[in-house]
Chain A
Amino acid sequence: MSEGPIISGRDLRVQYGDREILHGISFDVQPRETIVILGGSGSGKSTLLRTMVGLERPTAGSVWVHGTNLAEASPAELDEVRRKIGLSFQGGALIGSMTVGENVALPLREHTKLEESTIEVMVRIKLQQVGLIKFQHFMPSQLSGGMKKRAALARAMAMDPEILFCDEPSAGLDPIIAAGIDHLILNLKQALAVTIVVVTHELASAFLIADRIIVLDGGHIVAMGPTEELKQSTHPRVQQFLNRVADTEGKDDVDHLQLFTDRI
């Protein structure tokens, strides 16, 4: 781990309009580690993921990926970083007008000068890894939710990225399919020397695949560390999250009043 972090956030702030989502967070991701960003709905975990792949620009602070500060990167620099990463979207985001195979082949066709026969072989290898070899010629609309997520993983891995980002890989799936996706990520982790960043709210999934976990709450990092360390955390929000305890509607009288007056 002496080569330094592959992703690094420093006092990272992101806002949509007047609403700040991430309130100055700092973190490091080391090469070849699997890090899980855990948090409830509205905690800012998806915004953090989008910022790490350059889909959102930080309003302050910096986010370094592969030595490039995405907050100040030119479009060409951003493209350079993006060629080294893969992102698997929550809903798959497969191009609906292309078959599964064409989706996986897309980055290879666009960014490499490989022969069509070589691309075909690479597509089949990637689909084999995610167990979709028989579905190469299917359209995305013909796939189930779990298959779409696996196809999205295959596409994200098409260019052999150094960092693989996964947005809610097992959300919305039945426990068996979700466990299958978790094992797929574990297999990829073992087979490829790749850094994996997973955003999820699924506790079981997080503890199974993570080397380290970052817990986000309300746009702040409330805990960060190896999985065992996190289980011992005494932070009330971490405990609440781990023990699945519901929030009260308003934290205090002022919050409660705001629910009715709609004033901030």
Chain B
Amino acid sequence: MIGTLTLTLGRVPTMADSRSPAGVPIAPEGDLCVEAESSLTLLQRARAGDEAARNALCERYIPRLQRWAHGRLPASARGALETVDLVQDTFIQVLRRLDDFEPRHPGAFQGYLRLTLVNRIRDEIRRVQHRGVAEALDTASPASDPSPLEQAIGQETLERYEAALARLKDDDREAVIMRAELGCSYAEIMEALDKPSIAATYMTVSRALVRLAQEMSHDRA
């Protein structure tokens, strides 16, 4: 087994993971990308009506999603609609609709849940923005101000990014969203995408980013 080093402030528990040649430690809790089986267990308990399990899932997933959504919402929408409510409502809705979901493996649940959440929040943001435009026509107030992300990278770049992301294959899109937007570790992405190794996952993410950039360049041309 390959010796692997971890920069650490204290002592990181050593663990051997048969699927991970790097002997990757479990990601810290409180992250959106959490250890898969634990989330699956929590979900099963939540489905069975366990309120504590539902709360635990919320605590685990919602902070990261809120940060993500915050960057996507224009200031006016953030004022009109509590980001917290948006994310929590979406999360609960997704949980309710998971009854028929039979994951092929623990990671598949991670990927499905995350992508569904992100997509639903994207839809919700679009809905809010459109409503903002309609209201603006009546009130002659500014239609929609840029979101923090839009401010950071520019409207045109954001549009090209979103359009290119939508055209990617599912695995590439998932890899980009997990790594670029949600900051998941390679180990977590390996689980979600059912990749054989960290090295393969690293290449999957890198290729997905290159394909994304290629798609974006087509739009600019």
Q: Does A associate with B in a complex?
A: no
Query: Which B residues form the contact surface with A (CB < 8 A)?
Result: none
Residues in A lying within 8 Å of B, measured CB to CB: none
